[in-house]
A and B are shown apart, each in its own frame.
Chain A
Amino acid sequence: MNQTVASYLLQYEPVQQLLAFLSKLLGFNAISLLYFLIFALAILAAVGFLSLVGGLGTYAERKISADMQARIGPNRVGPYGILQFLADGVKMLLKEDIVPTQSDKFLFYVAPMLCIVGVFGTIAVVPFSSGFTIFDFNVGLVYLIGISSLVGLGVFLGGYGSNSKWSMLGGMRGASQIISYEIPVVLSALSIVLLSGGLSFSSLVKAQGGWPHQWFIFHNPFTFVGFFILFIGSLAETNRAPFDLPEAESELVSGYHTEFSGMRFGFFALAEYIEVFVVCGLAAALFLGGYNVPMNLGGDGLIGQVLQLGSFISKTLFLYYMVIVTRWTLPRLRVDQLMTMCWKYLIPISMVNLIMVGLWMVAFDGKSIFDLIFSGASVATGTGH
């Protein structure tokens, strides 16, 4: 059955009392209304949180890059400049919305919407914790991959509709890059689906444990490689350096969003930063144990949920930090290098990985490498059993 945040909350006594009260007050069974209210609140919370993460992401990016280049970075707005993203947001809202006269108006309006819809559509299945997954869809992984491909279309149409050479080149690069790198990402995610035997995020996460040796990244050598393939692929899918060819500042001014100004540009930027969070969350859920807490501390109660939220978000933010550090460490690839890396290295490696993970499942009965070592050690020393 599909678990949702509403069905989780309805286990609790106060929520059931609220349901009874509402039904009595309104004179009909208020379960649909309550579901609607809970979903609305949960989506509002998730969208607000992710927008905050996206906004703070721009701040973190500047601050970390400044740190790496021995500068200070934003330091005027608020303590340590932490309110800089609010100032930026206000600036973008107040800016004049310029639409180039020669552009294709319809595509120009639609492109930022597609980007933001594609990213916010993924929130529905992001597994924040065992209770607070808005909708634990039983094919959640495929849904996430499908709906996030709207972003690629948005990038491309934004570049095409601007009717400018820079935007056009950026959009073409973006679309081809996003399509190409989807393949290794999906293949390495499939190897995890093989291991856990489910497509929903709850089954993917619950097949792992709280301690690092129970995570899928350390399950066997092939998943260890698979994690890095997924991470590199998601860097490319979100147009982050060293794969930021679609918006290469030194060649294409700003790539596919050169002609966009004001909040339309803001949508592109926000979509990019939130998508980075979502793909980092995907990597954390698939390989780093997701929301699992060691020793199942706190259980399934509210304290457990808070701990699980902390576990998931700290893993995701660690990966987010790694993404930013990578951006300011590596130079940009050339287009041919980008395609060579994807089609000649990542895809063959991930295919071999997928087959080898399948063979590992057959050969060792799905046991992880640590299980094998521990059981071997206990047999050798005569302890255990």
Chain B
Amino acid sequence: MFDKILFISSALATIVGAVLTISVKNIMHAAVFLLLSLLGVAGLYLTLGADFVAVIQLVVYVGGVVVLMVFAVMLTAGSSGQKANRFGLVKIPTMGNFRTYTIGIVFAALVLMTIIKLYTNVFAMSRLAQIPAYSPTVSKIGISLVGTHVLAFEISSVLLLGALVGAAIVSRPRRENR
């Protein structure tokens, strides 16, 4: 009963937030609704017993990504002249030409294929799977990160190093050519 209430409220937050994110005109409001949606996803993780993933969702998406988005919107809004209002973009002329529609259709097809592939497994299951009893996941994730999956872990650190070096190169003052 209690689990169901938690699940329904998290799912509602996720769906309502996602729908409002793509339907509101104002990009700042969209960021706030995206926040609601991401919080709902964290709640969904919690109802599945994935405690570590849920709090990392909170830290990374709520604390990092949404704040960064809001920052980016604020720093770029108004810089593109008449096309943007105070809250971001009103309309960009290039938004609906042949090229963008093609790209959109290709990506929609990709997403649809992924979803169908996922859902075939779901429908193949005859009944609702039983969620195993709750057990803490932190130590398991830690052990597998530096154990069986150490290669992926190290490669992602190389990626982060690349991003760091790139940021340093972009932001450092240009040297004058004498």
Contact = CB atoms under 8 A, between A and B. Distances in A.
Interface of A: 1-2, 32, 35-36, 104, 106-107, 110, 137-139, 142-143, 145-147, 149-150, 152-153, 156-157, 160-161, 163, 172, 175, 179, 182, 199
A282 to B, nearest CB: 15
Nearest to B136: A138
A81 B57 CA distance: 45
B63 A106 contact: no
A143 to B, nearest CB: 5
Contacts of B62: 146-147, 149-150, 153
Contacts of A143: 55, 58
Given A153-B35, A157-B28, A139 B67 contact: no
A146 B2 CA distance: 24
Contacts of A32: 1-2
B70 A157 contact: yes
Interface string B94-106: 0000000000000
Contacts of B55: 137, 139, 142-143, 146
A66 B161 CA distance: 51
B167 to A, nearest CB: 13
B59 interface: yes
8 contacts: A104-B26, A137-B51, A139-B52, A142-B52, A142-B56, A145-B63, A149-B62, A153-B67
Contacts of B63: 145-146, 149, 152, 182
Contacts, number: 76
Given A139-B51, A142-B56, 15 more contacts: A35-B2, A106-B29, A137-B51, A138-B136, A139-B52, A139-B55, A143-B55, A145-B59, A146-B59, A146-B63, A150-B62, A153-B62, A157-B28, A175-B70, A179-B67
A107 B29 contact: yes
A147 B43 CA distance: 12
A167 to B, nearest CB: 13
B67 A152 contact: yes
Nearest to B29: A106
B89 interface: no
B70 A153 contact: yes
A156 B58 contact: no
B71 A175 contact: yes
A32 B3 CA distance: 11
A241 B101 CA distance: 53
Contact of B67 (A138, A149, A163): A149
Given A138-B136, A138-B138, A152-B67, A104 B87 contact: yes
A189 B136 CA distance: 21
B74 interface: yes
Contacts of A153: 35, 62, 66-67, 70
Contacts of B86: 163
A152 B57 CA distance: 17
Nearest to B71: A175
Contacts of B138: 138-139, 199
A323 to B, nearest CB: 23
Nearest to A140: B55
A137 B74 CA distance: 36
A205 B52 CA distance: 20
Contacts of A182: 63
Contacts of B134: 2
Nearest to B68: A179
Contacts of A142: 52, 55-56, 58-59
B8 interface: no
A181 B56 CA distance: 19
Shortest Cβ-Cβ A-B pairs, 8 listed: A146-B58, A149-B63, A146-B59, A142-B55, A143-B55, A138-B136, A139-B55, A146-B55
Contacts of B35: 153
Contacts of B58: 142-143, 146-147, 149
A165 to B, nearest CB: 13
A2 B138 CA distance: 13
Contacts of A35: 2
Nearest to A186: B59
Interface in B131-168: 134, 136, 138
A160 B29 contact: no
Interface string B35-53: 1000000000000000110
B32 interface: yes
B144 to A, nearest CB: 16
Q: Which of B2, B55, B56, B71 has the most CB of A within 10 A?
A: B55
B31 to A, nearest CB: 9
Nearest to B2: A32
A32 B67 CA distance: 37
B29 A156 contact: no
